[in-house]
């Protein structure tokens, strides 16, 4: 898996591996405002201990009424320093999020940040006619009893 490089050129997604069905990584997430450029693991029902995970039950970016849910750790489990979503709480409204999927780059603009109870599942809901991306992680970092949530709305496809 590729690690983040804060000095990496922003605005472009580079280094995406094959989207073949046998390839474990099939999406690539980039958030230039926090220097994140990370592969996203294939659909799972639970969070990977190593990186970012697209939740199996969530949507895909090609659908206008979808919510692409990607989760990741903010606490280090030995592989990433810092882990993928360590700086997620620094993402602000108006920041851009890039998601590459099957050779197409989807650009989202952050429309909302929030802190919710860890049991809150409404953050993963779809909204008819809206193409969303929802990113979340445990919060706060050293006492993770909540979830920090960033929601973006699709603004362009490249």
Q: Per-residue pLDDT for the chain (158 aa), expressed as one digit of tens each?
A: 333 333 333 333 333 333 334 344 589 999 999 999 999 988 765 565 668 999 988 999 977 889 999 999 887 655 556 888 999 999 999 999 999 999 999 999 999 999 999 999 999 999 899 999 999 999 998 788 999 999 999 999 99
Q: How far, in Å, CA of 149 to CA of 7, rounded?
A: 25
Residues sharing a CB contact under 8 Å with residue 122, sequence separation 6 or more, in sequence order: none
Domains and CATH numbers, the chain: 25-157 (2.40.260.10)
Structure tokens belonging to residue 24: 């474990």
Q: How far, in Å, CA of 38 to CA of 135, rounded?
A: 13
């Amino acid at each position: 898996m590729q690690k983040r490089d804060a000095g990496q050129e922003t605005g472009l997604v580079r280094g995406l591996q094959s989207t073949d069905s046998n390839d474990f990584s099939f999406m690539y997430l980039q958030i230039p405002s926090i220097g994140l450029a990370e592969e996203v693991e294939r659909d799972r029902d639970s969070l990977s201990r190593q990186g970012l995970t697209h939740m199996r039950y969530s949507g895909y970016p090609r659908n206008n009424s979808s919510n692409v849910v990607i989760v990741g750790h903010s606490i280090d489990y030995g592989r990433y320093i810092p882990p993928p979503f360590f700086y997620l709480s620094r993402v602000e409204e108006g920041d851009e999020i890039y998601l590459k999927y099957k050779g197409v780059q989807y650009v989202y603009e952050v429309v909302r940040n929030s802190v919710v109870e860890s049991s809150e599942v409404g953050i993963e809901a779809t909204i008819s006619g809206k193409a969303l991306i929802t990113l979340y992680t445990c919060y706060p970092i050293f006492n993770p009893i909540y979830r920090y949530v960033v929601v973006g709305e699709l603004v362009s496809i490249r």
